[in-house]
Structure 1
Amino acid sequence: MADKLMDRTERFYRIEQLLVERQVVSQSDFLRELEVSKATFKRDLEYLRDRLNAPIIWDRDAGGYRFEKGGVGSKFSLPGLWFSASEIHALLTMQQLLQSLGPGLLTPHIEPLLVRLRLLLDSEQVPLDTFDKRIRIQRLKARSYEPEHFLPVVTGVLQKKRLIIEHHNKFRNETTRREVSPQRLNHYQENWYLDAWCHVRNELRRFALDALRSVQITPQAALDIPEAELLATLDTGYGIFSGAQLEWAELAFSGERARWVSKEIWHPAQTSWEADDGTYHLKVPFTDKRELSMDILRHVPEVSIISPAWLRDHVREILQKALVRL
């Protein structure tokens, strides 16, 4: 019998469905329903048992296959029928993030999850080694941090405990000791950031994990900041930097550059339109000029700053300084 071109994972779901609906299914019924050869069915059954922990047994008295009583549960789950591009990226990124933590206190908990991810990504048509060879995720902007700092930070965030941190300010090249009340952990553009109330500055601050020199969790309860205040202080502006005063920047991109920029999301609250002259206009909110300026410079000379005027002057000054150095 020639096997029909049916996705193997579809067959897995059909096998499970038949066993759940009929309780006991003969081999001949499986072959007829799946329209596969005995050899293919045997391979599917072995994979379900050995790789996905499916508790399928042969019941001689009943004359067919069935689930072992009490066996269907926490250890058995089927992979998804299809992965979208974003889901594949998410799974592969998760795998890399987990592996990047390295050996430590989380290793016993991470390893089973990594095994499960590999099973989910693996298939007969696309084995996992093909993913590893043909799909690359290059974390070029990722900065290294100390893995032992990750666990106390996560614990502080989830258990709402204050942290004592030593934070290195790269701009001033100095390290300060602070007591903070952790609120959230952010993964933004390949790097981790801790959003916390700083009891030294008495304000919400964002700390990059790669800038932490030491982290100590305390038994003292963290100050709980309302979600609305977190959003207003840390999330309204552009990028990872926060500030007190919200402004809007209007940028105009050439028609050629618009082919790329018009597909990008610079900020959730952005607005955009195409002008009569063919330029693409983008308005984004910002509270700190640093990250927005860097992204504008990536598109020079195909971008113009319509407003505010002081931002245009700031970027022009950066370019003039750059010309002196070149």
Structure 2
Amino acid sequence: MLRKAARMMYRFLILFFFGCVVILFYLNLNIKTPKEVIMLPKGTINQIVTYIAAQSIDANRLDSFILRFFGSPQSGWIDLGSLALSKGDLFYKLTKSKAALKEIKLIPGETMYFFFKDIAQVFEVEEQALWDACAKSPRCIEGSFIPQTYRIPYGAMPEDIIWFLLDYSQKKHRDFAKQHGIVYGSQKWRQILSKAAIIQKEAADLKEMPLISAVIENRIKRGMPLQMDGSLNYGKYSHDKVTPKRIREDMSLFNTYRYKGIPPVPSGSVSFEALEAALKPANVPYLYFVRTRDGKHAFSETYQDHKNNFTK
């Protein structure tokens, strides 16, 4: 019996030894990744392995088993550190290595033209690569990004940056639209977004937003052109003062002096406060407003009162 037990133990040790050799060999296999920084979703180990395999990273069912000994994969941005690493390094990075994050701020009313310039500078990526990544998604249009401060890993690829911004913003916009009984992505949603962009650029503060919204609605009902400078601060003109010459020469649909109604697309990013104001204009009869010396606006119902407000 003792000899039999000894033989069984010997065989077990031999199998264990060879098993360890095989696993060590497997963990030292070299693999390549298309990106140094990847975004891991939340999920089970099996789901994570399936996800990274879909990202063109060599992963299989055996990895799901071995990965359990390293710990639970993290969610969020993961810095792999290299495009070439071993299986063991990959498992370690998935469970232990978070990417270093940098901040980028999109201010309310700013356009993609300047936002992409800021991203390119902060994260040292090609600005054109951001536009190319944006062009691949029908969701990537002006007004798609929620204005706020974002934390994105340094080293992220342009397409990953755009995907992250769009994915985050779309989820927030969907929730907002659902709360207000609007179909996200519908014509009504796009019109509200575009109206909110004008409100964002015209209002001096949050209190003025419902008043600006009311002026827009009242002028549309009267068949009057909006004649608002904020709509002309689109794209590269975001920070330009709107002059009479610009009004005469700009032939785009953003020119609310030339064309009636709200432009078909937003002229910049919009806050949720501006969206709320677009949906809930103040119950006032105002048709005009002009900036006063204190930086706020004076509102009026008649053109004569509007002219008188120019002296304030």
TM-score of the two chains, using structure 1 as the length reference: 0.24
Which structure has more relative contact order (CA 8 Å, sep 6+)? It is: 2
TM-score of the two chains, using structure 2 as the length reference: 0.24
* Higher helix fraction (1 or 2): 2
